[in-house]
Amino acid sequence: MDQLIRKPFRRVFGCFSAAGGSSSSRGGDAAAPEPVLAGSLHTRVGGGEDAIGGLPEQILSTIVSRLPATDPARTAVLSSQWLRARSSAPLVFQDSDLILAANFTGVAPVAAAVTRIIESHPGPFHTVTLTSYFPESERATFVGWIRTVAAKGVRDLTLHNIPWSGLYVLPTDLLQCCGGSLERLHASVWRFPSTAGVLHRGVDGGTPPPSFPRLRELVLNRCSIEEGDLENMLACSPALQTLVLVYSWGAPERVRLVGGSLRCVVLCQCVARELAVVAAPLLERIVLWCSSGPYCGYLMRIRISRASSIKVIGYLKPSSHRLQIDGTSMKPGLRTSPDELAVPSVKILGLQVRFGVADEAKMVSYLLRCFPNVETLHLMPVKDPQSPTHLGDFEFWEEISSVECVRFSIKKVVFHGFSWENSEIAFIDSVIEGGTMLEKVCIFFEHRCGTISDDELNAKMTMVASLSIGLGRAEVIFSGEDHPWHYKKAADLSRDDPFDCCYS
Last residue of a domain, one of 200, 234, 256: 200
**What's the pLDDT score for residue 131?**
92
Q: Are residues 360 and 477 in the same domain?
A: yes
The closest of 165, 183, 180 to 128, measured between CA atoms, is 183
| Residue 107 forms part of a structural domain | yes
Question: What letter represents residue 471's amino acid?
Answer: L
The closest of 323, 247, 242, 254 to 285, measured between CA atoms, is 242
**What's the pLDDT score for residue 66?**
57
Angle at 351 (CA atoms; ends 348, 353), nearest 5 degrees: 160
Q: Are residues 365 and 416 in the same domain?
A: yes
Rounded distance between C-alpha atoms, residue 241 and residue 231, angstroms: 14
**What's the pLDDT score for residue 469?**
62
Last residue of a domain, one of 200, 217, 235: 200
List, for residues 365-406, the tens digit of each pLDDT value: 989 999 999 999 999 998 876 665 555 668 889 899 999 999
Q: Are residues 370 and 495 in the same domain?
A: yes
The answer to whether 200 and 210 are in contact (CB under 8 A) is yes
**What's the pLDDT score for residue 482?**
77
Between these two residues, 504 and 353, which has the higher pLDDT value?
Answer: 353
Residue 144 pLDDT level (bands cut at 50, 70, 90): very high
What average pLDDT does range 112-121 have in this prediction?
A: 87
**What's the pLDDT score for residue 91?**
73
Between these two residues, 212 and 207, which has the higher pLDDT value?
Answer: 212
**What's the pLDDT score for residue 206?**
62
Q: Are residues 82 and 189 in the same domain?
A: no
Range of the domain at 32: 3-88
Residue 228 pLDDT level (bands cut at 50, 70, 90): very high
The answer to whether 69 and 93 are in contact (CB under 8 A) is yes
The closest of 294, 231, 224 to 252, measured between CA atoms, is 224
Q: Using the predicted structure, report yes or no on whether residue 202 has a pLDDT greater than 90.
A: no
Q: Are residues 51 and 134 in the same domain?
A: no
The answer to whether 12 and 63 are in contact (CB under 8 A) is yes
Q: Give the torsion through C-alpha atoms of 9, 100, 485, 293, to 10 deg.
A: -150
Rounded distance between C-alpha atoms, residue 405 and residue 377, angstroms: 10
Angle between helices 107-120 and 139-151 (to 10 degrees): 20
Q: Are residues 143 and 51 in the same domain?
A: no
| Residue 288 forms part of a structural domain | no
**What's the pLDDT score for residue 406?**
94
Number of domains in the chain: 3
Q: Are residues 95 and 83 in the same domain?
A: no
Q: Are residues 104 and 36 in the same domain?
A: no
Q: Which of 134-143, 226-235, 317-326, 452-461 has the highest mean pLDDT?
A: 226-235
Lowest mean pLDDT among 214-218, 223-227, 418-422, 473-477: 473-477
**What's the pLDDT score for residue 43?**
41
Q: Are residues 78 and 149 in the same domain?
A: no
One-letter-per-residue 3-state SS of 156-189? EEEEEECHHHCCCECCCHHHHHCCCCCCEEEEEC
List, for residues 71-94, the tens digit of each pLDDT value: 554 444 445 555 555 555 667 888
List, for residues 431-486, the tens digit of each pLDDT value: 998 989 999 999 998 765 556 677 777 777 787 777 766 556 678 888 787 777 88
List, for residues 303-315, the tens digit of each pLDDT value: 999 889 999 998 9
Looking at the chain, the whole-number percentage of residues with pLDDT higher than 90 is: 41
The answer to whether 392 and 428 are in contact (CB under 8 A) is no
Q: Give the DSSP per-residue string, 319-388.
A: TTEEEEETTEE--TT-SS-GGGG--TT--EEEEEE-TT-HHHHHHHHHHHHH-TT--EEEEEE---TTS-
Per-residue burial over 197-232, b = 16 or more CB atoms within 10 Å of its CB, e = otherwise:
ebbbbbeeeeeeebbbbbbbbbbbbbbbbbbebbbb
Rounded distance between C-alpha atoms, residue 477 and residue 465, angstroms: 8
Q: Are residues 132 and 54 in the same domain?
A: no
The closest of 105, 128, 258, 222 to 181, measured between CA atoms, is 128
CA distances from 190 to 166, 172, 460, 470 (A): 11, 12, 48, 57
| Residue 231 forms part of a structural domain | no
Rounded distance between C-alpha atoms, residue 375 and residue 410, angstroms: 4
| Residue 205 forms part of a structural domain | no
List, for residues 279-332, the tens digit of each pLDDT value: 999 999 999 999 988 876 678 999 999 889 999 998 999 989 999 999 888 776
| Residue 154 forms part of a structural domain | yes
For residue 443, give the CATH number of its domain.
3.80.10
**What's the pLDDT score for residue 283?**
97
| Residue 28 forms part of a structural domain | yes
| Residue 256 forms part of a structural domain | no
Q: Are residues 39 and 111 in the same domain?
A: no
| Residue 440 forms part of a structural domain | yes
Q: Are residues 22 and 69 in the same domain?
A: yes
Last residue of a domain, one of 140, 168, 200: 200
Q: Using the predicted structure, report yes or no on whether residue 364 has a pLDDT greater than 90.
A: yes
